Structure 1
Amino acid sequence: MQGAFETGIYRNLWSEYGYSEKEVKNRLEDAFQTIFYGTEEERFYREAGDDMGYLEDTGNHDVRTEGMSYGMMVCVQLDKKEEFDRIWKWVKTYMWMSEGEGRYYFRWSCNTDGTPNSDGPAPDGEEFFAMALFFASNRWGDGEGIFNYSQEARNILSECVHKGEEGHPGEPMWDRERKLIKFIPGVDFTDPSYHLPHFYELFALWANEEDRDFWKQAAQASREYLHLACHPNTGLSPEYSEYDGTPHTGHVEQFGRHDWYYSDAYRTMANIGLDSMWFGKDPWQKEIAQTFQEFYCVKQQEHWDGVFLVDGTRLEEKALHPVAVIAVNAQASLAAEGEFSRACMEKFWNTPLRTGDRRYYDNFLYMFAFMALSGNYRIWK
């Protein structure tokens, strides 16, 4: 089947399920306003000075490349250029590293005043920065300096691939042989939710010419890897995995437990849904999304707030981000289109944005899901 890249058609699944275009549009704008300009218990975007802004991880009280890149993606999708530029300037001012092993990467965490918490990067931030910048270039045009969006994006991707080569000290973010993204540079395992083949397809068009074949191969490699990382009977993936898809059980003392379907892993099926909508290259995505929705709607219909092993074994723990679970279960409908899609969509529609300390992660996944399901998470080219 053809995806939106070829057809230019972005379905509004809400409208297909009977919700009016007006209420969908209002709901989306209200979500943006709540996250960016709501009350103290709602928002987590903060302006900083005359021309910068940041998004706070309200659970950890820091600023992360994850959230900053997510904020930029939301802003370019919804045509919020002022907020986009404010966020990007904060990133380049405080998070970009000009020296050391991480030179030209972005430190993954800073305090809200911009002081660093780390001198290491997290690859999911880099790939989202690059994609948001390319979209900004295509939607608004390039500016000067750091606002030459497309050049900034190409620079980021070049470092991700060529670190470790002559003139590029440090470690690459991708395993160059396997063409698979790493959890962090310098380790030999990955995070399934970092795999964004729908982004890599576009990097293959817009990155530096010498890197375009790499990104084309990376898109195919990540799609093949996701077949291994998602359990065939549940659709669940672990937070961290080996390159063969098996859950990663090491590094517990350093990073904690991550072999289960828990917070990071929620994004995996959301990404599969978006790749299906944008490119439609892998029929397996429909099958695994249907399996995933069936797992929640039939096998665990009373336990959406549970924590699971990838084979579906339910543990005693409760989900740290229950709103995020509901959001990605609905976003799976982009691929699934099965008998459980309506139930997942309706549950999401009837779920409000989260308030309180943990609202940052839940509400970003809420926002991405709502944008995608309403046809407002688009390829700008």
Structure 2
Amino acid sequence: MSAYKTGVYRNIFKEIGKTDAEIDAKIKEAVQTFFYDEEERIYHTAGDDMGYLTDTGNDDARTEGMSYGMMMCVQLDMKEEFDRIWKWSKTYMYMDEGENEGYFAWSCQTDGKKNAYGPAPDGEEFYAMALFFASHRWGDGEGIFNYSQQAKDILKACLHKGENGRPGAPMWNRENHQVLFVPGCPHTDPSYHLPHFYELFAEWTNEEDREFFAKAAEVSREFLVTTCHEKTGLNPEYANFDGSPMDKVLPWGQFGDFFSDAYRTAANIGLDAEWFGEDKGQLDVPLRMMRFFGTDLEAVRCAYKVDGTPLERPVLHPLGLLSTIAQSALAIPYSDDADSDFAEAKKWVEWFWNQPLRKGVRRYYDNCLYMFALLALSGKYRIW
């Protein structure tokens, strides 16, 4: 039974033998480092009532990280930090005019100046979901802290830009129900497909958009089956709508291989398995990936084509990849049989447990994915 129906969430750390005290201590230490440690934190306060998360490798604030931070905070019951991040987002990243009115600028300098005036749909997806959860956990406030209304406004923009003379383009393809890499573009990013979010949007957003998101959840699960390789389980960073790797070279590079963005897909499949458990064939992906990478943890330090062909390109975020594979263990049922599928999953969860947060200039993306895996594997990444 899914957690959506039962309210019961797996604690895989306990399933592999960790104690409550060990798990609580590990989470507490990670939160302290990520949010508050002077040397290693990602989160920073700004003035009396705002805060931001910084991409340490690029020295900017991104809607990806800001919305991730809000999701972490609502899961951890950190309302002050949540409100600070949200107010910074609305103050500096939100665009109230022009082609992208209603969206958030995907990158800003840490003083709030916009680096770009284009949005990235994964930010809007996580903003909306975190805001709905905040509404249910803490209650709606006024203005920008009327969380549920703010979430509905974001999703309305995502679906209805370009209609009735409104400038710009939507973030979903209205015909095929797939989320786009950027508004109006002819391809998608598999790691943006979040059917477990869409199921909830279909319950909580504006009435006229609920049917669309219910269909989007179904379509995304089917898409994930086609975009994840039948043998390796690997998926491309960017894909065509039929799931095939995008072979077009964009101005900023080639993105048809299994690289940084693509890591998140397995984690998303794991969380969807936990929350809803609806299987269109995508729940087999995590085990295929685990078996592809095998018994050598060094395998996560190389980039690959989706068919498993290694590339002479080291990964930028090995801890991020390890974290997402570990989180995907949520798709694999528990068993104490040494020859079971769960024995494979247990190996990855143990590897993850033994890894500390990443240090240094590239720590942002890895540590965001680490924090989500830590919450998910301890049963603390929940529907609110």
TM bin, normalised by shorter chain, reads over 0.9
Q: Gaps spanning 5+ residues in structure 1: where?
A: none
Q: Describe the SS at the equivalent of 2:45.
A: strand
Q: Describe the SS at the equivalent of 2:313.
A: strand
Partner residue of 1:307 out of 303, 310, 329? 303
Q: Report sequence identity in percent.
A: 59
What does 1:187-198 align with in structure 2 at a 5 Å threshold? 187-198=185-196
Contact 1:273 1:285 in 2 (8 A): no
Letter in 1 for 2:349: M
Deviation at 1:304, TM superposition (A): 1.7
What are the Cα deviations for residues 147-183 of structure 1, in whole angstroms up to 9, with x where unaligned? Answer: 0000000000001000110042210000000000000
Q: Partner of 2:380 in structure 1? A: 376
What are the Cα deviations for residues 10-55 of structure 1, in whole angstroms up to 9, with x where unaligned? Answer: 0100001100011101111211110110132x11111000000000
Distance 1:144-1:259 versus aligned 2 partners, 3 A rule: same
Quick check: 1:346 aligned with 2:350?
yes
What are the Cα deviations for residues 195-235 of structure 1, in whole angstroms up to 9, with x where unaligned? Answer: 00000000000000010000000000111111111001011
Cα RMSD for the two superposed structures: 1.0
Deviation at 1:336, TM superposition (A): 2.5
Partner residue of 1:239 out of 233, 237, 246? 237
Quick check: 1:55 aligned with 2:59?
no
Q: Partner of 2:317 in structure 1? A: 321
Letter in 2 for 1:23: E
Contact 1:159 1:168 in 2 (8 A): no
Q: Describe the SS at the equivalent of 1:332.
A: helix
Q: Partner of 1:333 in structure 2? A: 329
Letter in 1 for 2:363: R
Q: Describe the SS at the equivalent of 1:53.
A: strand
Deviation at 1:297, TM superposition (A): 2.0
Quick check: 1:268 aligned with 2:265?
yes
Q: Partner of 1:112 in structure 2? A: 110
Distance 2:20 2:252 in 1: 44
Letter in 2 for 1:50: D
Letter in 1 for 2:106: W
Letter in 1 for 2:357: L
Partner residue of 1:280 out of 277, 281, 300? 277
Quick check: 1:296 aligned with 2:300?
no
Letter in 2 for 1:280: G
Deviation at 1:316, TM superposition (A): 1.1
Q: Describe the SS at the equivalent of 1:315.
A: strand
Deviation at 1:283, TM superposition (A): 5.7
Distance 2:42 2:284 in 1: 36
Quick check: 1:43 aligned with 2:41?
yes
Q: Describe the SS at the equivalent of 1:105.
A: coil
What does 1:195-274 align with in structure 2 at a 5 Å threshold? 195-252=193-250, 254-274=251-271
Contact 1:297 1:340 in 2 (8 A): no
Distance 1:361 1:27 in 2: 19
Distance 2:47 2:93 in 1: 17
Distance 2:348 2:274 in 1: 17
What are the Cα deviations for residues 54-73 of structure 1, in whole angstroms up to 9, with x where unaligned? Answer: 00000011100000000000
Letter in 2 for 1:288: V
What TM-score results when the alignment is normalised by the length of structure 1? 0.97
Letter in 1 for 2:142: E
Q: Partner of 1:28 in structure 2? A: 27
Contact 2:225 2:280 in 1 (8 A): no
Letter in 2 for 1:376: K
Contact 1:57 1:64 in 2 (8 A): yes
Q: Describe the SS at the equivalent of 1:170.
A: coil
What are the Cα deviations for residues 85-132 of structure 1, in whole angstroms up to 9, with x where unaligned? Answer: 000000000000010000010000000000010111000000000000
Q: Gaps spanning 5+ residues in structure 2: where?
A: 334-340
Contact 1:272 1:335 in 2 (8 A): yes
Distance 2:114 2:280 in 1: 43
What TM-score results when the alignment is normalised by the length of structure 2? 0.96
Distance 1:174 1:113 in 2: 31
Q: Describe the SS at the equivalent of 2:285.
A: helix
